[in-house]
Amino acid sequence: MTARKENSTYTLNEKFITDCDLTYAANKIGGRWKIVILDKLGTRKLRFSELKKEFPYISERMLTLQLRALEQDELVKRTVYAEVPPRVEYELTPIALEFLPIFCQLSAWGRKNKMLKNNRS
C-alpha cells in the first residue's frame, strides 16, 4: 500500500505478469502465508486465535495483513460477532474453494518430490 513509481521496470513487470491468467492466479496466493492459510480454512471456519495457533511463529501483524489481503481479493469472508471478548471468524469464499483441488495436486507433487530428494541425500 505504499506509493510506487508508476513506470519503474518493477511496475511494468508486475503489470505484464498480472495480465497473464496464470500469474494473475499465482499472485493471489503468493507469498509466504496465503496458501497455508487458505488450506487450513479449507477444512473449516476458524477464528483469528485458532489460525494463529496453527502457525506457531507467525506474528499477529502478519496474520492480520494476510487475512486482509485475502479478504480484499474475496478469497476469505470475515464475520465479526459483536461480543466481549470479540469473536471473528474467517471462512473461504466460493472462488477460494476452487483452489482446493489445485492445492491437493501441489501437495502431492511436494510429497513425491521431497521423498525423491531425501532418497538421494
Where along the sequence are the contacts to its own copies (CB under 8 A)?
9, 12-14, 16-17, 20-26, 29-32, 35-36, 39, 55-59, 95, 98-99, 101-103, 105-111, 113-114, 116
110 binds DNA (CB under 7 A): no
Nearest to 72 by CA among 95, 106, 39: 95
> Residue 75 CB: number of other CB atoms within 10 A?
23
Q: Which three cell numbers stand for residue 77?
A: 469472508
What SS3 state is found at 62? Answer: helix
d(CA 113, CA 78): 35
Q: Smallest distance from the beta carbon of 81 to its own copies, in angstroms?
A: 28
Enumerate binding residues for DNA (CB under 7 A).
Answer: 2, 4-5, 8-11, 13-14, 31-33, 47-49, 57-62, 64-65, 67-68, 78, 80, 84-88
